[in-house]
Structure 1
Amino acid sequence: MADCTEYLALLSSDNKEIVRESAFRAGEDNCVEAVPKLAELLKTNHLGIQEAVDSSLRKIGGRETVEAVIPLLRSDEAPVRNLAMDILREVGNQDMPSLIDLTLDEDPDIRIFVADILGSTGNLLAVQPLCEALLKDPEVNVRYQAAVSLGELGMEDATPCLNKAINDEEWVQYSVIEALTKIGHTSSVNALVKALDGASDLVASMIIDSLGEMGNVKAVTMLLKRMADAPTALRNKIVKAIVKILGGKSLTLLSDDERERFREYLLVALQDEDEEIQDAAIQGLAFVGGEEASSGILHIAGGLDQDRDQDRLRLIIGFLAQIGLTDALREGLLGEDQDVARVSVQVLSQIAPAACTEEDCVCQVLMEAFWKAALPVQRQIVSVVAAKGEEQSKDFFIRVLNEHEDGTVLKSAVYLLGEKLRLPEVVDQIFPLMDHQYDDVKEAALEACIAIDGPEVKARFQEMFGSAEPIRRLMATYALGKLGPMENLDILTQAVEDEIPDIRKVAVEALAASGGDDAVWRPLILHRMSDESKDVRLTVIEIMGQHYDEEMIPHLIDALNDEDDWVKVRAMDALGEHGTPEAAPLMIDMLNNSNRFVVMKAIEALGNIGGSEAFSALLEVTNSDEYELVSAAEEAISKIQEM
């Protein structure tokens, strides 16, 4: 390791790389003696050297570094000054007296620089000199920077001098208000409110925003008194601040007169172009609003984009629901503006109880509006009422089922009447929908009839299985598998031999899920191991894995020779998951398969099976040049070692 004397010599080298490396090492070895030379090198027009010097001076730090870097603040080169300031922001607190002395420097630029640096020290000793600069320095930019730095420090000790400076020039006022906001001391509330009297519109706006951010309830009374005489734009800002301080619910605690006046101000603020003011007005009106408020808020919500503004829209819908059912919502449902109608349904869905009853007004409003609304709104309405509807909604949905043609609307009706209420009386209307042109309507009708169940439904599905249409046989097979596979064993036995692969697959799944006698359904399923359809064979493999026992092992091992790689992989998964040692030899053979994925799965399965044969084979794989195979083999070997 070189000593500091050697570094000093090397730092004077003509070789830039030697200088850069020596500068870096001087910092690593904390060579305080090198600080003056390092500071001098900051002026070098070489980025590598500057970076090394910058790093080392920060590491060494201390009074020596502060004193050596301060003179660079007077450099004519802006990059050098900026480097010096960055370093002093980090280490300046290690020599506060040297920095504080600069607050009285004759050069106003130096005073600005040091005011900036003091804000980064995090040191209480910086507060007094910054306050002196804020209140007494003749240069406005020094005073501005002093206020900024006091805000950065965030110490309450700065509050008195910031309160005094609130009436300075407008440029300084900006930074003073921001600093007071960051500190948030109670004593600043009076000072800020008093400053409103002589403030420009811009400064007054900043003060009001500051009071809102500070959130001190003490400001509310003073702000309320100023609302009547304030211009509209400023009054809207006050509305925002008060709502921010109190929250919406606390507005209800104002006196009747105050609450009514404030409600009027909120309605005006609702028209402001500033979204934050609008949102504050909406929040307040949710608790003290009414019919007029609901109408205004609904108009704003209708103009929002459902995707781009979804977070804001969600909040507004919640506030509209807080106001409750109004004529504005009733009219919005049936108005020409489809965006407003859409929002109206969303609001009413939140107002409606979890379950609609005869006494519930909201669900009744939705059902009455349904037949007069446009189709997109009808879809919304029927979805809401279906989710919340009970027996009392039955007649409405039966009419929908009989008179409407839209697939989305029909699905909601089918869901409520079939899956939810399970009404046998609607089977005649729902069953024909399994021949609907849209698959999702077919599926809804199928699930509804399964939910209704009963002898009549089963008889219909048994009859349906005799159809020449594959889709009808498929639905019948699925339904009868759900409604009692053992009761319908004859039909399911026919289904596993159907010419359509999907029907065979559904029948196999139904039999396996029956919970009946294994001796009955296992032969039917195992016979499908030779099915011409890969999907059927995959289903059989998955079932064998789920019902794994000694009887299944030979069939799963046979599946390793299947012509389809996916069938092989699923068989390997099942055998590996259950640690079947009989499968190891074939798995080892699979390591030479041309399909990389098959090889990876064989490695994984051998790791699960374990044993000496698997271990030796996996060791061989680790000699491969292919990283993925080696990594998988090492992981599998680790698993075997943990067994």
Structure 2
Amino acid sequence: MENNDSMREMLVSQDPYLRRDACEAIGDGRMEEFIPALVTALRDDDPGVREASIHALTSIGGEKVASAIAHLLGEESAVLRNIGIEILELLGPDAFMTLAGLLDHEDDDIVKFAVDIISNTREERSLSILFPLISHRNPNVRASVAVCLGRLKSPEAVPVLLKALEDTEEWVRFSAIEGLGLVRDGRALEPLIGLIKTDSGLIKEAAIDAVAKLSSIEDAVAVLATLKPMVRKGRSFSTNGIVELMEKVFSPGSDFRPSLEFKKTYFSFFSKAFEDEDRHGKLKALRGLALLRLPAGEGIDRVFCFIEAQNELDEETEAFLVDTIVALSGRRLLPELKENLKQGSKCLRIIVKALGEMKLAAAVPVLQHLVARVAKNEMREIVVALESIGSTSSIEVLYQFLESSDGHTRKIAARALSSLAGPSAVSSLFDAVRRESYRDVMEEITDSLALIPADSVRKGFIALLEADNEQLREMGARGLGAIGDEEALDVLKKAAKDTSHNVRKAAYKSMARLGIPYAIDEIVKGLNDDNDDVKLSVLKGLGGWSGEKIKSALVHALMDRNIWVRYHSVLLLGELGEHDVEGLIIEKLVKDEAPVKAAAARALERLGATESVDILMQFVDHPDPSVRGAVESAIESLRC
């Protein structure tokens, strides 16, 4: 009782934070006796209080809340009405009986709100009480009922929805059509086709969209055949609906073989739609043209026209246009494609992608001819297309790209040659590494070489370790780790003594990548290197390793002068999962610098070191946010 009195005082406090706290506490406690007070709080001037009261009411839930909220649907304030709708929807099944009781309310708006909420909660038991409302005096209610019945997707609703097609109000008929499209029951097919034939405007468009949704492949064939005479006479239909029907009749499971007359009829339809409609409609029309696959690339000029009219294209649209060109060209190198490439229009990049998708060897000379006059981005697309084509002639051109002025193009060419030419490309790729001046490109070519299963690759990497150029020696060490050859260990041991710290880094990293247990003695030697970057590289390579030798090396590294070496050593000790190092980690928490303290807290959490909680508590107010965050997380986890 005392607690309840305190809550009531907080709910009427002048401080909105106290009012909000009260709502939250009531919700957490699911205190039903405060439902009326929470409903009152929905009118609070403070948005935080209103939000808290909504959460509290939905947390309490049940029919009592629904009953207490229902009257908000009749409020003049749209804000309060929307709050009422939101809560009733969130209550779900608990609100059903309350909503059912509103369906015969004298206020038509409240009836409509109740139907809409039932529609969103998808309560199937509402069918029997909704059916009579399809004859409600208010057309807005009838329309909402039609959509609601559709969302419930019950076959029992079909006769009621078919009856609603005869409603005197167009909006109700439109909603009934929408409902039938959602139910997708074949019984609606003929009545809807009848509407397509006899009605116009909004009803006709809705009917064809609904027919497209509920038609099987066989139904779609029959519908398109029925519509064909009307299409030929110039009657307009929903482009989206016709395309959806077309996708069904031309789907993989269909044995439909259209006549030339059929194709030409719908080609004219889509061509007109392309001219008349907005951007979305034009894309739909292009999809329809692509499905028809008329000979000689008919319709491909519309694709070019569309591209030229755009300021920019997103990736999804670009991919769609590539697929459309492939379909309309019949996977042939049409004169229109070559002409557009020759002109260097906006279409160039998309056509290049399409040629790659078609894998046309005949396109290689055309692509090669473009190289001298395209920008870097377009050149990269040409390389990707040549890789996709994968013919002998495309491989020959790819070798030329290893000497491109664009580093990214050289990367793509190397990757393509490693997969297409394999061992025969080894010599050229090593030559490319030797003359390369950019590290990232060297690394890409090295990694591409490592993918080629040939002994010449291993020998080539070993040879690089003898080069005067330290970057080449580094690539040799990198490559040997990438190919995963255990025989490379002795060579990598030698490389770990190189005068260049970058070569030593690569050597230790590669030894770790080999994953050979007996290599551990050599790997941990890297933790004594005089270069911090080498030590950090070794620590990163040790992730996932375990064993006494690893633990001993990490414990030794806790004394390193470099803070980040100590940091990673602490984290790795935590990952080892061995509790005998907890004392050392606690010492780091207490005595080391902030980053290491944070690492120590995370390591203790990982180890499940419950006895460290009292010590961790000493750092909950540490000035460094990374330390506070790690400590709080560790304490929360260890106390569970």
TM over 0.5: yes
The amino acid that maps onto 1:348 is L
| Deviation (angstroms), 1:477 | 4.7
Verify the 8 A CA contact 2:492 2:511 in the aligned structure 1. no
Query: CA separation in 2, counterparts of 1:502 and 1:350?
Result: 41
Please name the residue that 1:346 is paired with. Answer: 353
Verify the 8 A CA contact 1:181 1:210 in the aligned structure 2. yes
Query: CA separation in 2, counterparts of 1:78 and 1:460?
Result: 77
Query: CA separation in 1, counterparts of 2:599 and 2:263?
Result: 71
Structure 1 residues 91 and 625, CA gap change in structure 2 (3 angstroms): closer
Please name the residue that 1:278 is paired with. Answer: 282
Matching of residues 206-605 of structure 1 within 5 Å: 206-215=206-215, 217=219, 219-231=223-235, 233-234=236-237, 236=239, 239-240=242-243, 242-243=245-246, 246=249, 250=254, 252-290=256-294, 291-300=297-306, 309-323=314-328, 324-326=330-332, 327=334, 330-331=337-338, 334-352=341-359, 362-373=360-371, 374-375=373-374, 376-387=377-388, 389=390, 393-401=394-402, 404-417=404-417, 420-423=420-423, 427=427, 430-431=430-431, 433-447=433-447, 451=452, 458=459, 462=463, 465-467=466-468, 469-478=469-478, 493=494, 496-498=497-499, 500-510=500-510, 522=521, 528-541=526-539, 549-551=547-549, 554-578=552-576, 583-605=581-603
Please name the residue that 2:163 is paired with. Answer: 161
The amino acid that maps onto 1:629 is V
| Deviation (angstroms), 1:343 | 1.3
Verify the 8 A CA contact 1:92 1:99 in the aligned structure 2. no
Query: CA separation in 2, counterparts of 1:199 and 1:92?
Result: 38
Please name the residue that 1:152 is paired with. Answer: 148
The amino acid that maps onto 1:443 is E
Q: How many residues align?
A: 572
Query: CA separation in 1, counterparts of 2:600 and 2:44?
Result: 58
Structure 1 residues 633 and 238, CA gap change in structure 2 (3 angstroms): closer
| Deviation (angstroms), 1:559 | 1.5
| Deviation (angstroms), 1:372 | 3.1
The amino acid that maps onto 1:341 is L
Per-residue CA shift, 1:293-332, capped at 9, x if unaligned? Answer: 33423543565677x6322433443344344323167326
Please name the residue that 1:641 is paired with. Answer: none
Verify the 8 A CA contact 2:103 2:115 in the aligned structure 1. yes
Verify the 8 A CA contact 1:418 1:452 in the aligned structure 2. no
Query: CA separation in 2, counterparts of 1:394 and 1:552?
Result: 47
Verify the 8 A CA contact 1:466 1:473 in the aligned structure 2. yes
Query: CA separation in 1, counterparts of 2:527 and 2:43?
Result: 78
Q: Which moved more, 1:278-287 or 1:169-178?
A: 169-178
Structure 1 residues 113 and 245, CA gap change in structure 2 (3 angstroms): farther
Query: CA separation in 2, counterparts of 1:394 and 1:490?
Result: 33
Per-residue CA shift, 1:246-298, capped at 9, x if unaligned? Answer: 46665943444333322332333333424454344333333422311334235
Please name the residue that 1:359 is paired with. Answer: none
Structure 1 residues 293 and 30, CA gap change in structure 2 (3 angstroms): same
Structure 1 residues 622 and 369, CA gap change in structure 2 (3 angstroms): closer
| Deviation (angstroms), 1:562 | 0.6
Verify the 8 A CA contact 1:240 1:277 in the aligned structure 2. no
Verify the 8 A CA contact 2:513 2:541 in the aligned structure 1. no
TM-score using structure 1 length: 0.68
Query: CA separation in 2, counterparts of 1:466 and 1:46?
Result: 78
| Deviation (angstroms), 1:561 | 0.9
The amino acid that maps onto 1:336 is Q
Specify the SS of the correspondent of 1:371.
helix
Per-residue CA shift, 1:496-519, capped at 9, x if unaligned? Answer: 240x32122223344566789959
Query: CA separation in 2, counterparts of 1:347 and 1:439?
Result: 32
The amino acid that maps onto 2:164 is L
Structure 1 residues 507 and 452, CA gap change in structure 2 (3 angstroms): same
Verify the 8 A CA contact 2:380 2:409 in the aligned structure 1. yes
Verify the 8 A CA contact 2:535 2:565 in the aligned structure 1. yes
| Deviation (angstroms), 1:383 | 2.0
Verify the 8 A CA contact 2:186 2:215 in the aligned structure 1. no
The amino acid that maps onto 2:559 is N
Structure 1 residues 395 and 533, CA gap change in structure 2 (3 angstroms): same
Matching of residues 115-194 of structure 1 within 5 Å: 123-124=126-127, 126=129, 129-133=132-136, 142-154=138-150, 155-165=157-167, 168=168, 170=170, 173-175=173-175, 177-182=177-182, 186=186, 188-194=188-194
Structure label with greater radius of gyration: 1
Verify the 8 A CA contact 2:100 2:114 in the aligned structure 1. no
Verify the 8 A CA contact 2:619 2:631 in the aligned structure 1. yes
Structure 1 residues 151 and 512, CA gap change in structure 2 (3 angstroms): closer
Query: CA separation in 2, counterparts of 1:537 and 1:83?
Result: 61
Verify the 8 A CA contact 1:531 1:537 in the aligned structure 2. yes
| Deviation (angstroms), 1:175 | 4.5
Please name the residue that 1:7 is paired with. Answer: none
Q: Which moved more, 1:391-400 or 1:568-577?
A: 391-400
2:631 alignment partner, one of 629, 632, 638: 629
TM-score using structure 2 length: 0.69
| Deviation (angstroms), 1:590 | 1.6
Any unmatched runs of 5+ in structure 1? Answer: 2-14, 32-37, 103-109, 353-361, 639-643
Specify the SS of the correspondent of 2:227.
helix
Structure 1 residues 368 and 319, CA gap change in structure 2 (3 angstroms): closer
Q: Which moved more, 1:480-489 or 1:200-209?
A: 480-489
Structure 1 residues 338 and 97, CA gap change in structure 2 (3 angstroms): closer
Q: Which moved more, 1:390-399 or 1:434-443?
A: 390-399
The amino acid that maps onto 2:272 is V
| Deviation (angstroms), 1:534 | 0.9
The amino acid that maps onto 2:502 is D
Specify the SS of the correspondent of 1:348.
helix
